[in-house]
């Protein structure tokens, strides 16, 4: 990787001045700890200037309710409000600059890679529910984002192995404050938000969150619209041993997408402000979730948790995109003859309607007990998940005629042949998958300083696909064990050293989506063996400056094994062999807290060296970098509070270069173009 740009996301100087209630800020000034109980941070006002500079003591992504310092893996928690200040809503934008996390903006997905391995298809969760499917994910109703680094199959089943992302929703509780706000920015960016949390009595709280916003772009014709509404209620009994939350969320992200030609397909002189959308282009990501969650303390130190949810996520689009230029001389930019309209970009056209549905039922029991001198904090439970995905695609008229779109890159003139009639469906598949999982995890206190974590999970999965156009149907089944083990040493309360081993699996040759097979797959000849990721990690989590500054540092080595291929695809199509191994090694450092009485910091740095270690099928790829993985990532934000009513902040986010493919050829060192303003 020879070419590199130093900065992809830069806020040179961000000045954010807000008037807030003096009594709230006076109360904030007494909160000097870098880590606070999660429930207390959730109760803080969104206007509180230090909320984004305090770390949560627990993370829902771990499922076990333990303090993060007792977890022998790296956990990052991102407070969403700090990004809302800069006008961000997309999950991928909020994760940019997080150590070890790379994001590659794509119209259809978030393009998230963790420690070298893709997380977009099956490692994104909302309140512990898998957000499967190729969709863009809005954060309009999200309180915080949690990232558990490394393999996590012992908690969640199938995984690509780099880590999992969990978005925690805002829901009714007995502590959070209410707020109503508006925002405005450049390029017709404006909107309003409402977050009303009301305690009706000692047993019942209700909450209603909503957002409506619109924005344009520096490119002509590009638009975005957010519509979100989420009512919820929480009930607790008189002795507070039972808590029951039920919530409905509707979240629609509508776009006229910015999906023009690649730079090498644009003639010299094309303005960067030129948009290439056609009239009627749209992309709609529509999410609806109904969930209910019950926690019951049925005995001292013993809790029962049950959760059920139904999620439906649609991604529907009708648009023109990409394209190649045909010059006035009848040649493209590579000098080859072209037959399309001269002086215009010839665009690609596609229409899609896709539905992703996930039904989940899960329960677990957590408790504490002793066996002799050993103290146990145990969690055991089961998961049942039923996933459905049904994509329908078309790019031609009913009679089979191609649909064209043309844009003049200099004048902006455009035309297209898309009409109002029906299209000829070229793909219509129905995919479904059922997964059963049972797991157990135990944190064993060996003495006052040493803790041993051990866990294991077994998953049984059943996937099928039906081609609705040809009525072909295929079905595959299998199962897998996933272990983890870790040792935590806490010589002082402020420092927690750890080492761990964890393993994840991606079934049927590394498939992470619901569509494990196609309707025409020869099941007898397919790769049924899962891929495995194994990680070894060592690290330390510390508190400094009288617990005002929190840091974590880790070193990791992840290896993807059982990557398979057919040595003799023609003579022995049913015979598979191990092709080799992918390896990702690196280090990560992050920090958050108060370094002076009125100066707060947050940030981190990640180094990821992710390469093809061995490839018997394509030896020429050995040593190549894994796709969409930046070697260097990081961010730094500093907030200064000169008075109790005002603050100023400066921040910078760095995302290094990366290759878009494992061949390390073609377009190199692409940089995501984003910006933050306040």
Return the sign of the alpha-carbon dihedral for residues 475, 469, 431, 90.
positive
Residue 494 to residue 108: CA distance in whole angstroms: 44
Residue 135 to residue 314: CA distance in whole angstroms: 8
Which residue(s) pair with 231 in the sheet?
208
Residue 85 has pLDDT above 90, yes or no: no
**Please, which pLDDT band fits residue 11 given cuts at 50, 70 and 90?**
very low
Q: Quick one: pLDDT at residue 19?
A: 37
Residue 18 has pLDDT above 60, yes or no: no
pLDDT tens-digit series, residues 328-385: 999 999 999 999 999 999 999 999 999 999 999 999 999 999 999 999 999 999 999 9
Residue 675 has pLDDT above 60, yes or no: no
Q: Quick one: pLDDT at residue 82?
A: 73
Asked whether 605 and 99 are in contact (CB, 8 A), the reply is: yes
Asked whether 63 and 364 are in contact (CB, 8 A), the reply is: yes
Which one is predicted more confidently, 662 or 5?
662
Residue 8 has pLDDT above 70, yes or no: no
Mean pLDDT, rounded, of the chain: 89
Q: Give the pTM.
A: 0.90
559-572 core/surface letters (b: 16 or more CB in 10 A; e: else): bbbbbbbbeeeeee
pLDDT tens-digit series, residues 197-207: 999 999 999 99
Which residue(s) pair with 517 in the sheet?
none
Residue 92 has pLDDT above 80, yes or no: yes
- Which of 10-19, 161-170, 520-529 holds the top average pLDDT? 161-170
Identify the helix (H) or strand (E) that includes residue 93. helix 91-95
Q: Quick one: pLDDT at residue 515?
A: 81
Name the CATH architecture for the domain at 185-543+572-584: Beta Barrel (2.40)
**Please, which pLDDT band fits residue 674 given cuts at 50, 70 and 90?**
very low
**Please, which pLDDT band fits residue 32 given cuts at 50, 70 and 90?**
low
- The full set of domain ranges for the chain reads 185-543+572-584
Identify the helix (H) or strand (E) that includes residue 143. strand 142-149
Asked whether 286 and 254 are in contact (CB, 8 A), the reply is: no
Q: Quick one: pLDDT at residue 39?
A: 76
Residue 24 has pLDDT above 60, yes or no: no
Q: Quick one: pLDDT at residue 457?
A: 97
Which one is predicted more confidently, 83 or 454?
454
pLDDT tens-digit series, residues 631-671: 999 999 999 998 877 888 888 899 898 998 999 875 555 55
* Stretch 20-25: mean pLDDT: 41
């Amino acid at each position: 990787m020879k070419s590199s740009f130093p900065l992809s996301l830069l806020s040179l100087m961000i000045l954010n001045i807000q008037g807030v209630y003096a009594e709230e800020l006076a109360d904030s000034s007494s909160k000097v700890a870098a880590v606070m109980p999660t429930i207390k941070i959730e109760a803080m006002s969104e206007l509180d200037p230090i909320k984004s500079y305090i770390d949560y003591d627990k993370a829902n992504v771990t499922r076990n309710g333990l303090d993060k310092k007792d977890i022998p893996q790296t956990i990052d928690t991102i407070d969403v409000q700090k990004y809302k200040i800069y006008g961000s809503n997309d999950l991928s934008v909020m994760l940019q600059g997080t150590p070890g996390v790379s994001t590659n903006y794509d119209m259809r997905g978030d393009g998230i890679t963790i420690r070298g391995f893709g997380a977009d298809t099956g490692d994104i969760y909302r309140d512990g529910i898998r957000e499967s499917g190729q969709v863009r994910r809005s954060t309009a109703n999200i309180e915080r984002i949690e990232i558990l680094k490394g393999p996590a199959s012992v908690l969640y089943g199938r995984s690509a192995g780099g880590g999992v992302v969990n978005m925690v929703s805002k829901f009714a509780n007995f502590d959070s404050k209410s707020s109503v706000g508006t925002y405005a920015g450049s390029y017709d960016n404006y909107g309003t938000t409402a977050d009303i949390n009301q305690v009706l009595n000692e047993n019942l709280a209700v909450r209603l969150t909503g957002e409506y916003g619109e924005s344009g772009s520096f490119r002509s014709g590009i638009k975005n619209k957010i519509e979100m509404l989420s009512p919820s209620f929480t009930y607790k009994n008189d002795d507070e041993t039972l808590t029951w939350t039920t919530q409905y969320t509707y979240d629609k992200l509508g776009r006229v997408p910015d999906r023009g030609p690649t730079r090498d397909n644009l003639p010299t002189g094309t303005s960067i402000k030129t948009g290439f959308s056609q009239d009627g282009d749209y992309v709609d990501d529509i999410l609806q979730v109904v969930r209910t969650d019950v926690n019951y303390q049925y005995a001292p130190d013993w809790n029962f948790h049950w959760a059920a949810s139904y999620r439906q996520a649609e991604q529907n689009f009708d648009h023109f995109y990409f394209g190649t230029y045909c010059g006035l001389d009848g040649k493209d930019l590579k000098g080859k003859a072209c037959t399309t309209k001269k002086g215009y970009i010839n665009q690609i056209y596609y229409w899609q309607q896709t539905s992703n549905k996930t039904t989940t039922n899960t329960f677990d029991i957590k408790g504490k007990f002793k066996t002799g001198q050993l103290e146990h904090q145990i969690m055991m439970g089961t998961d049942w998940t039923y996933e459905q995905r049904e994509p329908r695609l078309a790019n031609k008229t009913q009679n089979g005629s191609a649909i064209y779109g043309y844009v003049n890159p200099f004048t902006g003139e455009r035309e297209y042949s898309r009409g109002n009639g029906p299209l000829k469906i070229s793909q219509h598949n129905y995919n479904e998958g059922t997964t059963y999982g049972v797991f157990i995890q135990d944190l064993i206190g060996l003495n006052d300083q040493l803790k041993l974590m051990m866990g294991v999970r077994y998953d049984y999965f059943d996937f099928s696909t039906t081609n609705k156009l040809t009525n072909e149907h295929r079905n595959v089944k299998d199962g897998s064990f996933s272990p983890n083990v870790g040792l935590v040493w806490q010589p002082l309360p402020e420092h927690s050293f750890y080492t761990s081993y964890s393993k994840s699996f991606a079934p049927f040759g590394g498939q992470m989506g619901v569509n494990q097979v196609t309707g025409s797959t020869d099941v007898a000849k397919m790769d049924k063996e899962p891929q495995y990721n194994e990680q070894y990690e060592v690290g330390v989590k510390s508190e400094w400056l009288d617990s005002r500054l929190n840091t974590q540092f880790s070193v990791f080595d992840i290896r993807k094994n059982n990557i398979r291929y057919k040595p003799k695809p023609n003579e022995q199509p049913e015979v598979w062999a191990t092709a080799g191994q992918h390896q990702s090694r690196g280090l990560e450092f992050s920090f958050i807290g108060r370094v002076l009485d009125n100066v707060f910091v947050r940030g981190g740095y990640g180094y990821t060296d992710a390469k093809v270690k061995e490839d018997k099928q394509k030896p020429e790829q050995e040593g190549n970098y894994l796709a969409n993985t930046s070697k260097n990532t990081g961010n730094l934000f500093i907030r200064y509070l000169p008075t109790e009513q005002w603050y100023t902040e400066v921040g910078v986010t760095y995302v290094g270069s990366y290759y878009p493919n494992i061949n390390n050829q073609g377009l190199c060192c692409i940089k995501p173009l984003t910006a933050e303003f306040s």
